[in-house]
Amino acid sequence: MSFSKTIMLRNYDGETFVVDEVVAVEPQTIEHMIEDGCANTSIPLPNITSKILSKVIEHCKKHVETPNSNEKDAKADLKSFDFDFVKADQGTLFDLILAVNYLNIKGLLDLIYQTIADMIKGKTPEEEEEMRRVNAWVFSCFVGVTCLYFKSKKI
Amino acid sequence: MTTTVDWSELQPELIESIAHKLKIHKDYIHFRSVCWNWRKSTSKTPKHLPCQLPWLMFPHSSNQNQQSHLRLFFSLSDDKIYRISLPEASTIRRRCGSSHGWLVYLEETPGVFVINPLTRVKHHLPPLCSFPNVVNFSVYNVGREYTLKTVEGDVYYTCSLKEMRNSFIKKVVFSSSPSDEDLDYYALAIVNQTGDLAYCRKGGDVWRFVDDAQLCCEDVVFHKGCFYAVSKYGTIAVCDICGDFSNGVPNVSFIHTQLQVGGDMQYLVSLGDELLLVTRYLELGFHAYKTTEFRVFKLVLKDGWMWKSVLELDDWALFVGENSSVAIRASDFEGCKGNKIYFTDDYSEWNYDGANGDHDLGVYDLEGGSVAALPCYTRKFYNGRRWPPPIWITPSLH
């Protein structure tokens, strides 16, 4: 039986999450806080909601628990987990990117960047227009110039 | 999709990091047109994009009367034709290179210029009269404007403006994008008549010959920091031109392999750390020719250097022709299939006007050994050869 040290994370809603230290140090921000001795009682994360923090912890846990091997099954399992993990609504993704950026979890950050980039990829101008309309983005006048570069004619 | 999220509020460094995950130009341009904040946070000229899937630049079409400044570019991934205004690419000029998204043009003056069709940025390379074997240029000697000397230096001969434009340079290849903003770039030209290799660097005034490399003039590619040139029989000259060399002479070393016999044209392709030799076989008929086969080899060191036969390219597709050869990972781009060679007409032996039939271009399947037509070449759209032949160009925003 082994005892692993636990760390307490206290978030925006005042909730506390108890996690194993090995999971808690996945976010570099927390790792540095512990090293700097700021983690006596609990680590404050005032700008992260419970929903987002529990998602982040879930991701860190999964990646810590999965053995770091080149084994095909382990890799496929992680890939599948990541794939399902980012199947979230835009609101969650937005909050996630801010939280993960603050927490500085490189792997998860990369995953979210790629997810958002994939949302832009391959959109037709009509689909983009729809997204813009729904999200009320500010439409830049430079778009006219970029459209000129790609004035296309289908044959 | 319901959301109350304002994505335009994202921090600049996050926006930039997301943009870095995009691999395709069009996606990057769309990304930058989302909103003002996203546009501000991303660079206008993305340097991180990998080499894009080449477009096919068409010859001038037959009804070019009113719109002769428009050139057509076919995109394999979109299955679309883009019309771009490019008056610089008129018929009085001759194109002699397509490298890193830039086209090299010669005209009936000594000038040599490069232009990026997408950005229309243009600048000059040293003129033809700055080649070491050009001893004199005078516009008053009509029809014999250029005076050149042979390699030995003992015989002088003359060339007209047109002759120099048409046949002096075979191909120009760059070490990196010849854009002004970037670091140093080097250009290497294959001189047709003598088989010399000549180079110049960014901002240079003259072309200089690479000594001792005359035989290796079939094709040139920039690979692992040096220019690699190949002879008809597979010998490689490695020209270390970039950087400083103490006595003013670039270092040239040779890689001697087993004799590569057979085939009508050789191409060199840089594929990551590996150097490929692509041999093209033509079927020559009466006033017509067409490609029937390609064979691919890779340079390996095993009891000496040798060209080892490559039977499949897996996910890679090669683009060869008058352009600087390019290897593309097919799964990164729609419309591109792996294990294929996309080729254009490149047979310079024949005066172009004298050849019949259609352009010699298509897609070669390494697995089946067959040639298929390119998707844009339907009977309806195009017939017969036209000057200049089509060429691959990798679209680039810088």
Identify the residue with better confidence: A77 or B276.
B276
Q: CA nearest B381: which of A66, A91, A153?
A: A153
Q: CA nearest B395: which of B75, B59, B85?
A: B75
| Chain A residues 6-65 with a CB less than 8 Å from chain B | none
Q: What's the CA gap between B6 and B12, in Å, rounded?
A: 14
Which range, of B53-62, B265-274, B300-309, B361-370, averages the lowest pLDDT? B53-62
Q: Which of A9-13, B59-63, B147-151, B286-290 has the highest mean pLDDT?
A: B147-151
- State phi, psi for B183 to the nearest 5 degrees: -70, 180
Q: CA nearest B397: which of B119, B202, B211?
A: B119
Characterize A53-64 residue by residue with b for buried, 16 or more Cβ atoms within 10 angstroms of its Cβ, and e for exposed: bebbbebbbebb
Whether residue A17 contacts residue A57, with contact meaning beta carbons closer than 8 Å, is answered with: yes
Q: Mutating which of B34, B45, B55, B380 best tests the A interface, going by the most A Cβ atoms within 10 A? A: B34
Instruction: Fill in the DSSP letter of residue B49.
Output: P
Q: What mean pLDDT is predicted for residues B308-323?
A: 94
Q: CA nearest A56: which of A90, A14, A28?
A: A28
pLDDT at position B66 is 53
Cβ pair B14:A120 closer than 8 A: no
Q: CA nearest B133: which of B191, B61, B183?
A: B191
For residue B96, is pLDDT > 80?
Answer: yes
Q: What mean pLDDT is predicted for residues B73-91?
A: 88
For residue A52, list chain B residues with Cβ-Cβ distance below 8 A. none
pTM of the model: 0.81
For residue A1, is pLDDT > 50?
Answer: no
Q: CA nearest B346: which of B324, B376, B365?
A: B324
pLDDT at position B267 is 95
Cβ pair B27:A109 closer than 8 A: no
For residue A97, list chain B residues with Cβ-Cβ distance below 8 A. 10, 14
pLDDT at position A149 is 46
| Chain A residues 73-112 with a CB less than 8 Å from chain B | 89-91, 94, 97, 101, 109
- Average confidence score pLDDT of chain A: 75
pLDDT at position A51 is 87
* Encoded tokens for B167: 């046949």
Chain B residues contacting A, CB < 8 Å?
1-8, 10-11, 14, 17-22, 24, 26-27, 29-37, 39, 78-83, 118, 376, 381
Instruction: Fill in the DSSP letter of residue A92.
Output: H
Q: Mutating which of A93, A112, A137, A153 best tests the B interface, going by the most B Cβ atoms within 10 A? A: A137
Q: Report the complex ipTM.
A: 0.75
Cβ pair A120:B27 closer than 8 A: yes
Q: What mean pLDDT is predicted for residues B216-223?
A: 92
Cβ pair B81:A153 closer than 8 A: yes
Handedness of CA B163, B168, B170, B176 (dihedral sign): negative
pLDDT at position B26 is 84
